[in-house]
Chain A
Amino acid sequence: MLLVPVLLGISIVIFALIRVAPGGPARAVFGPTAPPEQIERFNRQYGLDQPVPIQYAIWLRGILSGDLGTSLVNQLPVAALILPKILPTALLTLMAMLVSVPLGVGAGVLAAIRRGRLTDTLSRLGFLFGLSMPSFWLGIILLVVVAVNLRLLPAGGYVPLEKDPIGCLRSMVLPTLTLAVPIAAVLSRVVRTAMLEAIGEEYVRTARSKGLPERIVITRHMLRNVALPTVTTIGLQVGYLLGGAALIETVFTIPGLGRGLVDAVTNRDYAMVQAITLIIAVLTVLTALVVDLLYVYLDPRIRLR
């Protein structure tokens, strides 16, 4: 994937988004019966009366200098509104990653080692359930059972990390679990397949015939083989995490980027929609780039080529 053309393409798509809104953003904000003067003033204020290529150039120049525009709802700079939303979403996605990777890799390795036995079947069932469960539904059920009925954890809401780190972590447990389940499910499948491929390889047979204990064969030889597809999958799931955050943050009322995006769409705050979509898309593309770079580190064969 070529980075620059894709990033440019992303910026054009996001720029085009609000131009295709029926009647333009002004009509969407003020409604179909708004007086023409009000529409005109709005368009002049946001530069919407300029030719489209010039609008794009101005918009892009603004973004590159950190100016994400002005909120159409409360006239505040979008960048300032978005900044506090980044930490909750970053926490949520990172924690979900930290939970799902050991869970998925563990389940996949166990399933491969105990292929065809009960553990394998259970892991397959877990995979299908995790993949088919709507995450927002799982979130609501967890919320009701664990938070409302058992009163073990807070029922949604976000405690700022800088104010109360422990309270913050407690408030993130359920959202993290909810977001981690489908990722762990997908990972377990990928890891299982990669492990089964490794079992058939010559070097594993060699290691075994050298008399190495099975534990060493698995950890030293097979798990290395599993690293590559695992990293690829994790890279692909980052987009899913950021998209899923919109749902999970809504269920657990966390003031993050995802919830911000949904609110912005509901309020027809196009500048916010553009800015948050842009941030998420750029993050996703950059993750793909990091994964490509990790390949070189994980697989010496790529370096040699």
Chain B
Amino acid sequence: MNLRESMGIALGGIRANKLRSFLTLLGIIIGVASVIAVVSFVEGLNRFVTQKLLNAGANVFVVDKWGFITSQEEFDEANKNPDVTLADADALREGMRHASLIVAQAGSSAPLRYRNKVMKGVPVNARSAGYDLVDDLTIEHGRHLSELDDTERRPVAVIGPEVAEELFGTTDALGKLVRIDRYEFEIVGVTKAKGKIFGQSQDRFATVPIQTFQKYWQERGSFSLAVKSVDQASLELAQQEARNILRARRHQRPGQKDHFGITTSETWLTLYHTLTGGIFVVSIGVAAISLFVGGIVIMNIMLVSVTERTREIGIRKALGARRRDILTQFLVESTTLSVSGGLVGIFFGASLALLVGAVTPLPAALSMGAVILGVIMSTGVGVFFGSYPAARAARLDPIEALRYE
């Protein structure tokens, strides 16, 4: 009924005392802004990570010596496991019926030289054929590494566009000879650019055949095997198959713990969700404290307002305002106040998230859900902390209120 009037009074009050209003609403603003910012970050990360993990590793699990290690004890234990070798990879290729692809992987980093140009610390990825599906790589020029490159241990390499650009500039990289560490490799392919994740370029690498890698750098040592199952449904089955084959090769007795590890993107997602869940809980806690303090400040300012306007309340009652009219009026005022703070908070939080998203590699996505959450929280604070002052206003005796100086 007099909703618009009450909102008008609250907004007019905010406009009339901008600094005081800002200070009053600071708690709400900080609370809502932090929730919006954190929700936006986590949301952005979620989308990003889920997409990356699921894209690159759809139906993929990884077999290696270590498995999923979260403690020193687990590390010591896993360290005793035998190495996972290329022979294991061959055994899996031979024995698995639910695997469409098995890619052996290893990695190092080394300087790359071409004539007088040097790039230091370039990641060198050693892969067997089919790696493009697991690493999510597409060729721009030339070709991918083939099975023959691998079995014949050819000194050939596929490089990322950043490496091509830095070493060869605009000239064609294909067929050029590059030194990786001390050995000469021929460039047979350049991949399509993928951009950056968390500030890390995904286009700065050299991929070489794994057996070439083994010949030059790593005669012994453990590899990890990326296994792609035929489809989503057979992922579990494929893992069981791989487990059986590897246990047999390691002569393990039933009941004994695997002497190797199997991890899926699911494992990483679980860890990731645990981490972000923690961030979430902590930030909600911080936000709750700010909102509580903000609510107390609003309650305080509303109590002052009720006292300042005792006479007005008396006048309104003399003219026929019922208790609930006065109650509604002050509740609408406190809610308008805190929702204004909430909107400013949403604005700041979203700006912060988008700004950080723009200038740092952290992704951020502003979700409608976060905005609605912000509005609901600030409304709740306004109603909750406004109800005591509003009830005090509604209970005032009209005669005393009219006489109040």
Asked whether A and B interact, the reply is: no
Which residues does B use to contact A, with CB under 8 Å?
Answer: none
